[in-house]
Amino acid sequence: MELSHLINQLQFFLPELSLLLGGVVVLAGELIHGKSKDCIIQTLTLALCFIVVGFLVQEYNTTQLIFSGSYLITPFTTFGKILVLMAGFFTFIVSRKYIALHAISLAEYSFNIIFSMMGMFVLLSAHDFLIIFLGLELLSFPLYILTGMKIDNIRSSEASFKYMIMGAFSSAIFLFGVGLIYGALGSTNLNAFLPVLANPDFIPFPFLYLGIIFILIGFAFKLSLVPFHAWTPDVYEGAPTPVTAFMSVTVKTAVFFLFIRIFSELTSTFFIHIIAFLAVISIVIGNFYGLLQENIKRLIAYSSIAHAGYIMLGFLDSSTTDASNAMMLYLVNYTFMNLIVLWVLMYLTTKKTYGEKLDDLRGIGRKKPWLGFVMIVALFSLAGMPPTPGFIAKFYIFSSALKGGYILSVIVALLSTLVSLYYYTKILVVMYMQEGEVDIEGSHSLPVALMLFVGVAALFYLAIFPNQILEILPALK
């Protein structure tokens, strides 16, 4: 009876199992010899994505708590998985030329991205702090490896080492918080933890207060929130550009979706003030440090720190549904905005240049007008300029914070947004108003160009029909 019950529950775990087994098959592709090797590996990887999305669509309307209450399947968690898988699918399509230029094994590269996605899937559905910890480690270890895959580049190796060390510290802090919560509640299951957060009159043990603080710090590391952000610029700069694009959107999506599920009904004013502080300081520091950057990937790193702060403002709203919808909409928009900028850098990558510094973009807007247009759409959207989807996303986020009564936080965020407009515009000034001597003749990549078209089309759709997106967003519960 127990075996049949376990097998019955495994039907809800098929996306994760598919990634596990499919990742092993893709890695085995390294044993193939011949010119068709990379083509076969990429075909297997993309086929795996289609299989997994089929399972996700099948379980989209399912609500199920499995594995003794430690794993939750809902439309909300499934929607997060679809976003992660979509970003991974795009990454596989655009990566092949970049991987070949840097002599990186496509099988190893694909395997690590697949396993990182599996960790994100586990994290998104985790309903127990120990499963959350497992998901965090499963998504992080492949990213440590991916960050250091340019083995002939000292910055890549250094970034991988820093990422691993900081990741170990954040995991230890998170696990210590879990231990304190277990000591206070006698359980690590979220069913025991969530009612405590939702009770406005609860007076917890001091250990529980401390445990929640450590949990918040662990999440803040993963989300690159100030003051736990120091690893982000070095890792974004040192990692291969497709890896930077992948981690910049998928990690935030997975962690924020879990964070929303756990802390959406937080009632303690003390902890809400902590979240407000983390949000505002991240917005301010991220935007002001972005002014100083000449490397575009470092600039995007500080931009991502600021955007994590913007999303955190959604937690200041007392209306759970409106706030969660605002944060989900922001994450959908951010996925395309951020990917487009980094895909442009990949398009410009040749054997002679990485296309990562501002100087590498001199005159590109006039040499390749369509590429300049793509960059304008993405950067103005990141800056929140109307009528871009970035403006709409910020409008909903700021509205949520205002509903919660955090007027000063919104004012600071608005002023910091004006600062961000300067460094985003700085990229366009270089692209259009400076003469370029960079050779970009070898930078053509049809898959990247195709994905840039898809990304821009998605941003236009999000700008014109935001209500349609809001209507299809799943409920939190």
Residue 308 CA to residue 282 CA, distance in Å, equals 7
Mean per-residue pLDDT, 275-295:
90
- Helix pair 37-58, 75-101: axis angle to 10 deg: 170
Residue 436 CA to residue 269 CA, distance in Å, equals 53
The pLDDT score that the predictor gives to residue 82 is 93
Backbone phi, then psi, for 295, in 5-degree steps? -90, 125
Residue 460 CA to residue 374 CA, distance in Å, equals 11
The pLDDT score that the predictor gives to residue 361 is 81
DSSP state of 331: H
Residue 327 and residue 314 in contact, taking contact as beta carbons nearer than 8 Å: yes
Would the pLDDT of 441 be above 70?
Answer: no
Sorting pLDDT into bands at 50, 70 and 90, what band is 1? Answer: very low
DSSP state of 239: S
Indicate the average pLDDT of the chain: 86
Residue 248 and residue 143 in contact, taking contact as beta carbons nearer than 8 Å: no
The pLDDT score that the predictor gives to residue 18 is 92
pTM comes to 0.92
Residue 330 and residue 391 in contact, taking contact as beta carbons nearer than 8 Å: no
Q: Which residues of 344-376 are buried (b: 16+ CB within 10 A; e: fewer)?
A: bbbbbbbeebbbbbbebbbbbbeebeebbebbb
3-state secondary structure of 386: coil
Residue 354 and residue 448 in contact, taking contact as beta carbons nearer than 8 Å: no
Under 8 Å CB-to-CB from 172, ≥6 apart: which residues?
none
The pLDDT score that the predictor gives to residue 214 is 92
Residue 235 CA to residue 229 CA, distance in Å, equals 11
Q: pLDDT tens digits, residue range 329-366?
A: 999 999 999 999 999 888 887 766 666 778 778 888 88
Under 8 Å CB-to-CB from 317, ≥6 apart: which residues?
323, 326, 400, 401, 403, 404
Higher-pLDDT residue of 439, 446: 446
Would the pLDDT of 176 be above 50?
Answer: yes
